[in-house]
């Protein structure tokens, strides 16, 4: 009976639950799905992490390469993020060149990196004007069940925390670079941006961490990215239902709490893999 009702009137089905301040999957409105993180999942990458938000699964691998720094800023390296939504992760995506959602997600991640200054690009420079690190951050969604932005941001952050770069020196005489694979250093992570997404239901109700189903039924989404000081690294609301400033403030408040939780999780996971 419930199944039939859900198929025929999916929105009404959701509304009944939301009226009781809960969701069909048993969560409260402000509750995240269980967030699981595995660090160092890809042994061949320089840093990697797998993040699961309920069913949504995102893997991020960071590959470091050496290149000449850009001409206009010779003391900086590059960070090149890319979000892939392959057709295997959901029926909504088709194989082929990245669609609008994948491109928009890539740009969102690029903006978060730029806005939060997660890594000082100067830290990636090895020899001024000659050699710098390029970090290719490939974020691939394995299972799409909504809230891809939160999962991607989290995967990126943990993967970057996991990066171990070999020491590189430039030989003064020969001008050649020497890579010392034995001595590896972690990246300096300056900020910890954490994203929190909301779906807007019926123009008024805000629900945290929407599933794919909820995203489809919702009339809009908001994503807020905060760092540990509570500063906003990104406020992204691509259209949808209008919100008042007060509602936006509620979102920010929730995002601040979420940041603290996620930060603890990251700290714990990082600590667990450190040699005792």
Q: In 10 A of CB 65, how many CB atoms? A: 12
* Residues 180-219, mask of contacts with another protein (x by CB under 8 A): ----------------------------xx-x-x-----x
State the nearest-atom distance from the C-beta of 220 to another protein, in Å. 7
Beta-carbon contacts of 10 under 8 Å, excluding residues fewer than 6 positions away, are 213, 217
**Residues 124-183 interacting with another protein (rule: CB under 8 A):** 143, 145
Query: What is the total count of residues that contact another protein (CB under 8 A)?
Result: 85
Residue choice 111, 120, 123, 215 for contact with another protein (CB under 8 A): 111
Under the criterion CB under 8 A, does residue 79 sit at the interface with another protein? no
Position of tokens 């993020």? 81
> Per residue, what are the HEC states of 92-116?
CCCCCCCCHHHHHHHHHHHHHHHHH
Burial of 170 (0-12, 13-18, 19+ CB in 10 A): middle
Instruction: Check if the beta carbon of residue 202 is closer than 8 Å to that of residue 160.
Output: no
Q: Where in 45-64 is the site for another protein (CB under 8 A)?
A: 52, 54-55, 57
From the list 63, 75, 90, 114, which residue makes contact with another protein (rule: CB under 8 A)? 114
Cβ neighbourhood burial of 80 (10 Å; 0-12, 13-18, 19+): middle
Q: Does 6 bind another protein (CB under 8 A)?
A: yes
Query: Among 94, 183, 167, which residue's Cα sits nearest to residue 127?
Result: 167
Is residue 149 packed enough to be buried (19+ CB in 10 Å), middle (13-18) or exposed (0-12)?
A: buried
By beta-carbon proximity to another protein, the closer residue of 104 and 168 is 104
For another protein, which is the closer residue by CB, 169 or 264? 264
- Under rule CB under 8 A, residue 31 binds another protein: yes
Among the listed ranges 29-37, 61-69, 131-139, 175-183, the one in contact with another protein (CB under 8 A) is 29-37
Q: Per CB under 8 A, which of residues 241..270 are in contact with another protein? A: 241-246, 248-250, 252-254, 256-257, 260-262, 264-265, 268-269
Q: Could you tell me the smallest distance in angstroms from the CB atom of residue 110 to another protein?
A: 7
Least spacing, CB of residue 273 vs another protein, in Å: 5
Give, as ranges, the residues between 217 and 246 that touch another protein (CB under 8 A): 219-220, 222, 227, 230-246
Do 45 and 158 meet the contact criterion of CB atoms below 8 Å apart? no
């Amino acid at each position: 009976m419930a199944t039939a009702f859900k198929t025929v009137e999916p929105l009404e089905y959701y509304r009944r639950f939301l009226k009781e301040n809960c969701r069909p999957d048993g969560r409260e409105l402000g509750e995240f799905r269980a967030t699981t993180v595995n660090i160092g999942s890809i042994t061949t990458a320089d840093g990697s992490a797998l993040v699961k938000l309920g069913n949504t699964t995102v893997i991020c691998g960071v590959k470091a390469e050496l290149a000449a720094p850009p001409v206009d800023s010779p003391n900086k390296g590059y960070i090149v993020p890319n979000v892939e939504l392959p057709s295997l992760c959901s029926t909504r995506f088709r194989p082929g060149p990245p669609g609008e959602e994948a491109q928009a997600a890539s740009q969102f991640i690029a903006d978060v990196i730029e806005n939060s200054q997660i890594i000082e690009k100067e830290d990636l420079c090895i020899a001024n004007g000659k050699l710098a690190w390029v970090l290719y951050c490939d974020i691939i969604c394995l299972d799409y069940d909504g809230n891809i932005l939160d999962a991607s941001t989290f995967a990126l952050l943990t993967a970057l925390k996991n990066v171990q770069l070999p020491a590189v020196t430039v030989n003064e005489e020969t001008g050649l670079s020497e890579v010392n694979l034995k001595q590896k250093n972690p990246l300096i992570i300056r900020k910890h941006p954490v994203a929190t997404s909301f779906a807007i239901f019926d123009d008024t109700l805000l629900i945290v961490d929407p599933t794919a189903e909820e995203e489809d039924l919702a009339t809009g989404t908001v994503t807020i990215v905060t760092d540990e000081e509570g500063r906003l690294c990104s406020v992204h609301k691509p259209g949808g239902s209008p919100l008042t400033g007060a509602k936006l403030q509620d979102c920010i408040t929730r995002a601040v709490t979420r940041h603290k939780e996620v930060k603890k999780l990251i700290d714990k996971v990082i600590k667990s893999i450190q040699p005792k």
